[in-house]
Chain A
Amino acid sequence: MTQQTTPGCAPEAAICARGITRDFEAGQTTIRVLHGIDTDIRPGELTYVVGESGSGKTTLISIMCGILYPTEGEVRVFGTDIYKLTDTELVNFRLKNIGFIFQQYNLIPSIDAAANAAVPLIAQGVPIKEARERAKVLLDKLNIGNQADKLPRQLSGGQQQRVAIARALVHEPRLVVCDEPTAALDASSGRRVMDLLREVAVSPDRACIIVTHDNRIFDLADRIIVLEDGRITHDGTEMPDDH
């Protein structure tokens, strides 16, 4: 692994993305989805990546968290140039350093809430009993400790979301990536989830990126990056007036 400061990257940046482009092949045509994105994500902040469907926000976040190779450009996560890692090193890097919260939660239906929350620890090789105990502590903190033994289908949408949050944080990652965490929730539930995320996911040594187009929660962001047609058109603490 290479850990060094990249020219142009702030040393304290959680993510430093430089010149990110991404092309997709559609038959004979090549479509450029991202056009040379340069941005830094800082720890201790709740950063939103917003934009219309097709603006490239999901592609950008996928590249920034190491699950999609860029066509061009460089991404450093806490100083590591992640796309210079081998496939196995990259998988291990994600496992140790990144927590994911997905729009559809994607919990495993046949195992209970505690086991779902413990998945990253189990994948790291932590003994199952210990992993479950650590997951239960977090579920308690998220006020669903009493649901730890229930299967996902026995939980409400909000409870499943909390289990997904626990799974994202149980291994104490330095970067948390959320994809539309409030899309399936009503306004008040959505705000509660965001408050919860701010409370448990944001810390001075951890960065939290949220991809969303839910304008009901824009006011909760520390920083908002707006993407349009694969380019950053706004980067500030509030949404621009024309959105």
Chain B
Amino acid sequence: MLTGDAQKFYGLLFGIGFSTLLITQQMTIFVNLVERGASGVYNAPEAEVWVMDPVSRTTDVSYAMPGTALDKVRAIPGVEWAVPHLRAVANVRTKDGDLEGVTVIGVDDATLIGLPKRMAVGDKSVFFAPDTVVIDDVGVDRLFSNGASPLGERLELNDQRAIIRGIADAIPSFTSQVTLYTRYSSALNFVPGTRNRLSFVLVGVAKGETPEAVAARIEQETGLKAETRAELAQAGVNFIIENTGIPINFGITVFLGFVVGVAIVGLTFSLFLRDNIKQFGALKAIGVTNSKIMQMVGVQAGLVGLVGYGIGVVGTIAFIRGFGSNPFFKGFYIPWQIPLISLAAVVIILALTGFIAIRSVLRTEPAAVFR
């Protein structure tokens, strides 16, 4: 019956599809966005334990430690290696005379631990050239939006000369701020001095040890805060959830998607059933039971729901892929739980609206067909 009425059929498809798209797309953006709170951790894949001042909370909210912290950590049993890691903010004056706030990350001079896994352009040997900085791909988009190659470009970084010699393939930060990677010793020159400069000590654990055990030992013996990679990543995510309005904003949009779905689908469903009430009455008169009619409507609603849901999910995939080249959406993916949540929402929408709409059919007396 439902597929026989093109207007209502497409109306229901639109309602379900739009709801699914809105719920799936917004939840996907939300999850990926809050995961950016952990990008600092993900961009330093070798580090198994991060050691920091006890007041530090995330990779972006940290309090510098004295340089002696590095030696303390290296002395802890179970620590295979420990390297310094500096994260600081600085200002860049671009060639065009614009001012741009940047994050400067200083990685270990000798091992370059703390860098993203891959370089998009160039290789890691460029770090050993003087005044080298490597920019992340978001930074290229921000500072060189005219399409010019950044390689070889000179920047005025906190009144110091810096030369871009490579592009890092990095996960953007939550704020998509430009990030410049350099060696730790160079970073100390680029960033204005305070007595303590060491943001983190990155640690690799010895064979046979677990990061949790080593982290606990470091905390106990140094008084510093030590977190495993997973713990610090989660702390970054939690910081964004707790300190921004993002969950509420996205939550409202997802809720509105659900409400719009209920409204469109409910209205269309009710109109469809009301328009076909004579047919349902005829079926009941002939001897079709209420449970068979409910099965009929259920199958049709299920079909519409499945197609609409498919359209919504495919729309979300198209959206994520379509915007994949935009650095803001770099690395975005759809966690498998989100389509399941959308599916549950679609089932609830259909069950709720179907239940309300079908009551009129179930209450219809077969004799109504003769009136």
Contacts and interface: CB of A to CB of B under 8 A. Distances in A.
Contacts of B29: none
Contacts of B370: 58, 61-62, 67, 102-103, 179, 211
Interface stretch (B2-10, B65-73, B222-230, B260-268): B2-10
Contact of B286 (A58, A120, A151, A211): A120
B285 A109 contact: no
A93 to B, nearest CB: 8
B285 A94 contact: yes
B85 to A, nearest CB: 66
B286 A108 contact: no
A92 interface: yes
Interface in B274-301: 278-279, 281-289, 292
Contacts of A106: 278-279, 281-282, 369
A109 B371 contact: no
Interface residues of A, number: 33
Contact of B367 (A68, A95, A108): A68
Nearest to A59: B367
Interface size band for B: 20 to 34
A33 to B, nearest CB: 12
A2 interface: no
B297 to A, nearest CB: 12
Contacts of A48: none
B36 to A, nearest CB: 48
A110 B371 CA distance: 23
A243 B366 CA distance: 31
B323 to A, nearest CB: 38
Contacts of B159: none
A109 B287 CA distance: 19
B365 A67 contact: yes
B1 interface: yes
Given A67-B367, A100-B282, A102-B370, A108 B287 contact: no
A105 B369 CA distance: 10
Contact of B289 (A65, A88, A120): A88
Given A102-B370, A106-B279, A95 B287 contact: yes
B371 A123 contact: no
B286 A110 contact: no
B5 A119 contact: no
Interface in A59-111: 59, 61-62, 65, 67-68, 88, 91-96, 98, 100, 102-104, 106-111
B286 A109 contact: no
A102 B288 CA distance: 16
Contacts of A151: 4
B65 to A, nearest CB: 72
Contacts of B4: 108-111, 151, 153
A86 B278 CA distance: 24
B371 A108 contact: no
Contacts of A108: 1, 4, 279, 283
A123 B287 contact: yes
A151 B1 CA distance: 11
A123 B288 contact: yes
Q: Which of B278, B279, B287, B365 has the most CB of A within 10 A?
A: B287
The residue among B366, B370, B371 with the most chain A CB atoms within 10 A of its own CB is B370
B1 A100 contact: no
Interface string B240-275: 000000000000000000000000000000000000
Given A68-B367, A106-B281, A94 B5 contact: no
Nearest to B5: A109
B289 A102 contact: no
A228 to B, nearest CB: 19
Contact of A123 (B5, B286, B367, B369): B286
Given A91-B287, A119-B283, A120-B286, A110 B369 contact: no
Given A91-B287, A91-B289, A108-B1, A102 B365 contact: no
Contacts of A120: 286-287
Nearest to A67: B366
Nearest to B9: A110
Interchain residue pairs A-B with the least CB separation, the first 4: A95-B287, A110-B4, A109-B4, A106-B282
Given A59-B367, A88-B289, A102-B278, 18 more contacts: A58-B370, A67-B284, A68-B365, A92-B287, A95-B288, A102-B282, A102-B370, A104-B278, A106-B278, A106-B281, A106-B282, A106-B369, A108-B279, A108-B283, A109-B5, A109-B279, A153-B4, A167-B286
Interface of A: 58-59, 61-62, 65, 67-68, 88, 91-96, 98, 100, 102-104, 106-111, 119-120, 123, 151, 153, 167, 179, 211
13 contacts: A65-B285, A67-B284, A68-B366, A88-B289, A100-B282, A102-B282, A106-B281, A106-B282, A106-B369, A108-B1, A109-B279, A119-B283, A153-B4
